[in-house]
Amino acid sequence: MALSVPLTFSLLASALFIAPVLARVHQHSSQLPVNKYDYIVVGAGAAGLGTSLLLASRRMVLAPSLFLRPALGIFDTAPSSLSILMTFFSDEGILAAQVPLLAPTLTPNYMSHHYGSSEDYDRLARITGDSGWSWNNMKQYIKRHEKIVPPADGHNTTGQYTPSLHGTNGVLPKSLPGYSVATDSRIIATTRELSSEFPFNQDITSGNVLGVTWVQSAIGGGKRSSSSTTYLASVKDRKNVDVLVNAQVTKLLRTGTVGGKPSFKGVQYAAAPGSPTQTAYAREEVILSAGSLGTPQILMLSGIGDKDELASHYITTVIENTSVGKNLSDHALLPNNWIVQGTESLDGLFRDQSALNSALVQWQANKTGPLVHGTVNHIGFFRLPSDAPIFETTSDPSSGPTASHYELIFSSYWLHPTLPSPANGSYMTICSALISPTSRGYLKLASADPFQTPLINPQYLSTAFDKYTLREAVKAAKRFTSGPAWADYILAPYGDLASTNTDADIDAYARKYTSTIFHPVGTAAMSAKDAGWGVVDPDFRLKGADGVRIVDASVWPFVPNAHTQGPVYLLAERAASIIAEPSKSNADLRGNLGFLNPRSR
């Protein structure tokens, strides 16, 4: 999301060198001691894409770094002789990758860290026919994954979350907001004043997401908790992990045929367009974690996809599968801005070089102050009323009766992906996000050149349901601000929001300003073993192939009720247990679907 931070500040920030400690990180393939490993984890992405795709590509680069757990899980249980190669995006030296409030200048994830609706997992269990995906089984991974720590400002968090739902011993430090903002008390007051529509939810980690909640963020001790500072750092002393940065996998290599299926236990990669390609081979498996955009691109470049599409780029089809790159699903985002009183919003900070510099000095001194703010302190998930007219023509696409249709995201400053921040004034923003979209997009190769960005058409708002729901989400944001708590704070809606009086006005406004919160999923969807669609089976194995698993957001067949990093970490935790201990992962649960209510989708 666009957020103007003075250039000089960015330069100052980038001049400060902050290096996570990574063991055996290799900058160049020639430094790798061998080219054969037990496992190869492909987690690097493309760089240098066009402006609009730059955001997506950075997401693609960072998202894969969430998936180290498979390799690490293997480590925990396997002999240390097991060797692993990972290709990885490096955040070494990037200050904005550590300072929470600078996230928008880099546009990796915004750190909001939760897991979605329990009904998302039960729905995945129904779709895949594998009860190991049910919430009942999946919630065990929360405690393995996270470590809840005090917020940066040390405030009393009683009533802001439910401690018993959380891990205290996991890998990734997370916390409640560490810097309070002007809107906090007004939002909480609104959950009392307008409680029937906007109730308070103490902790959505329960699996019930409905209501307004304090955001839990992947922030510990005032710093971003990234996969490199957490999972990768936890194995920094392991000698059997080689991490290769600055390498892009250009395709999987076919290494033979096993049980009648093509085996792909090799990868080809290159440092940059035009550089010589290198190869590496896996004795056991290649784990593809290149993200919802990178993974289908690599599959297609390897001859796995729609035969006609591949033929148009002179790529020989090895596995025909028309689901690769299809069913792309994402959370569309529409920001609504209001002009507010006074100077309490964070807008002034972003415009004032010396204030920013002293905030940075404070952050460096003791990791407190405005820079530990994780961009939003509250979010809320809501349903359309059950008698909404749209349900006369569309069956409810949400994951279940306690899952949501839309989200409201509250920030105490100007936040807008497409409109630059005004030069004066104070603002608050409520973004409306579509959580249960029925639109499905796709990704196709633009060319057989692996360094060329694929064509991505998300097809946002292409269904009547999506248009209706986003419209209702704008109305809900306006109702939220009509509560008494805002009377002495909000001056006026900003810009075109001020003239959204009719449904047609809102639709035009939505068409003009809707973009994305970057939660694409579904392009290598998981489905039941015998399904006539889908790309991976419930154990993450690439259908029709030997030696390949896909472990990233691309396997979610629908987008969950969450900012996707949390659900993706849980998925990676499960992948680790399936790969490391296949017998224990879910054998006892499999086939026992009786507790799930059958639903039609």
Q: List residues binding ligand NAG (CB under 6 A).
A: 156, 158, 319, 321-323, 326-327, 339, 361-362, 365-366, 368, 424-425, 532-533, 543-544, 557
Please tell me whether residue 41 adopts helix, strand or coil conformation: strand
Paired sense of beta strands 304-305 and 490-493, if any = unpaired
Active site residue 563: yes
| Angle (nearest 5°) at CA 182 between 380 and 55 | 60
Smallest separation (angstroms) from ligand NAG to the CB of 329: 9
368 is in an annotated binding site: no
Side-chain-side CA neighbours of residue 229 (13 Å)? 22
Smallest separation (angstroms) from ligand NAG to the CB of 404: 19
Burial (0-12, 13-18, 19+ Cβ within 10 Å), 440: middle
**Cβ(425)–Cβ(20) below 8 Å:** no
Tell me the one-letter amino acid at 476: A
Q: Which of 26, 373, 405, 563 does the annotation list as catalytic?
A: 563
Q: What is the DSSP letter of 444?
A: E
105 is in an annotated binding site: yes
**Cβ(73)–Cβ(63) below 8 Å:** no
Write out the E strands in 272-391: 278-288, 304-305, 319-320, 332-340, 378-382
Q: Which of 26, 331, 405, 519 does the annotation list as catalytic?
A: 519
Rounded Cα gap, residues 566 and 568, in angstroms:
5
Q: Which of 283, 267, 263 is nearest to 38 (CA)?
A: 283
Active site residue 155: no
Q: What is the DSSP letter of 32?
A: -
**Residue-by-residue DSSP string for 213-237:** EEPPBSEETTEE--TIIIIIGGGTT
Place of tokens 């059950």: 386
Tokens in use for 539? 């154990």
Rounded Cα gap, residues 340 and 358, in angstroms:
25
**Residue-by-residue DSSP string for 83-109:** -EEEEE---TT-GGGTSGGGHHHH-S-
Smallest separation (angstroms) from ligand NAG to the CB of 490: 12
Q: Which is nearer to ligand NAG, 46 or 525 (CB)?
A: 525
**CA dihedral sign, ordered 588, 590, 596, 597:** negative
Residues paired with residue 86 on neighbouring β-strands, in sequence order = 41, 243
Q: Which residues are annotated as a binding site for FAD?
A: 105, 249
Q: Which residues are annotated as a binding site?
A: 105, 249
Which residues are annotated as catalytic? 519, 563
